[in-house]
């Protein structure tokens, strides 16, 4: 029986545990889209113009099948709690999993999927995980992360 309920969409991935991190591939995106689009759009809006939805989808391989960025979702009780857009960054011999965008509910609970996030990064050959341009409030929600620097900018011209 076909249904587009969030419960059906997410149960196709694997059994649900209290908090779970799943990767949503480009082939799954059309079915998952109604459940993740509002959070992805909000994350783009909060990026101060650095990201917009259409280019993000392009980087995720929607246009040509080349998946440079990945979409991860935090699931609780068969409901999407948060989405993250991540990419792999190579710097010499070091590879990092960078969280470019994130949005959702209950940010203080996101660390509950840290082990799964780290396992995802390790499976892709990463030695670190980073949030290259985090909002200031994330330091409160993610107190076990360390602030390495600040992103500063100014308009010119």
pLDDT, one tens digit per residue, over 91-135 is 899 999 999 999 998 888 888 899 999 999 999 999 999 988 887
End-to-end CA distance of the chain: 58
pTM of the shown model? 0.80
* Per-residue pLDDT, 96: 92
R_g of the chain computed on alpha carbons: 16
Cα–Cα distance for residue pair 153/157, rounded to 1 Å: 13
Q: Phi then psi for 116, rounded to 5 degrees?
A: -70, -40
Ramachandran quadrant class, 153 (left: phi over 0; alpha: psi -120 to 50; beta: rest): beta
pLDDT in tens, 8-39: 444 444 444 468 999 998 888 888 999 999 99
Helices assigned H by DSSP within the chain? 6-11, 29-45, 53-59, 114-123, 138-141
Three-state secondary structure call for residue 70: strand
Length of the chain (residues): 157
Q: Which one-letter DSSP state was computed for residue 65?
A: S
């Amino acid at each position: 029986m076909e249904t587009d309920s969030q419960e059906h969409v997410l149960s196709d991935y694997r059994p649900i545990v209290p908090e779970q991190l799943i990767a949503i591939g480009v082939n799954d995106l059309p079915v998952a889209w109604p459940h993740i689009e509002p959070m992805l759009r909000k994350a783009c809006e909060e990026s101060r113009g650095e990201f917009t939805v259409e280019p993000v989808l392009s980087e995720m391989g929607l246009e040509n099948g080349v998946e440079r960025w990945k979409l991860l979702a935090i699931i609780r009780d068969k409901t999407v709690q948060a989405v993250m857009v991540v990419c792999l960054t190579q710097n010499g011999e070091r590879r990092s999993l960078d969280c470019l965008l994130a949005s959702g509910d209950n940010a203080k609970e996101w660390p509950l999927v840290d082990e799964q996030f780290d396992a995802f990064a390790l499976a892709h050959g990463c030695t670190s995980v980073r949030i290259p341009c985090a909002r200031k409030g994330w330091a409160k929600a993610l107190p076990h992360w360390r602030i390495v620097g600040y992103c500063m900018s100014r308009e010119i011209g």
